[in-house]
């Protein structure tokens, strides 16, 4: 009889990533969540500071304003001194 680890259910079934469940979830956040639930400790973030930094990155991705090509052109024209 094989003795299974504490989180062996994670090895038997593929878990959908947050981005699989909702494509609007940014990749950095989805990747972080998956790393945090890794069954092997060496695959999880070693320090909480790493988690915080990566959450801040994900927040930045979520809150940055969408730039459309038209808006970028309009902004560059408004800065010129014609």
pLDDT tens-digit profile of 68-78? 766 555 555 55
Residue 32 belongs to a domain: yes
Rounded CA separation 55/69 (Å): 28
7 touches 39 (CB < 8 A): yes
Residue 14 belongs to a domain: no
Q: Does the pLDDT at position 2 exceed 70?
A: no
pLDDT, tens digit (0-9, with 9 covering 90-100), for 21-49? 999 898 889 999 999 999 889 999 999 99
Domain around 37: 26-64
CA-closest candidate to residue 44, choices 12, 3, 7? 7
Q: Does the pLDDT at position 11 exceed 70?
A: no
Total tally of structural domains belonging to the chain: 1
Residue 9 belongs to a domain: no
């Amino acid at each position: 009889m094989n003795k299974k680890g504490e989180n062996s259910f994670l090895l038997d079934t593929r878990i959908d990533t947050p981005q699989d469940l909702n494509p609007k979830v940014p990749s950095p956040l989805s990747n972080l969540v998956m790393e945090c639930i890794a069954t092997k400790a060496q695959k999880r973030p070693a320090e909480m500071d790493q988690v915080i930094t990566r959450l801040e990155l994900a927040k930045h991705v979520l809150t940055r304003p969408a730039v459309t090509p038209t808006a970028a052109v309009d902004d560059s024209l408004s800065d010129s001194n014609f």
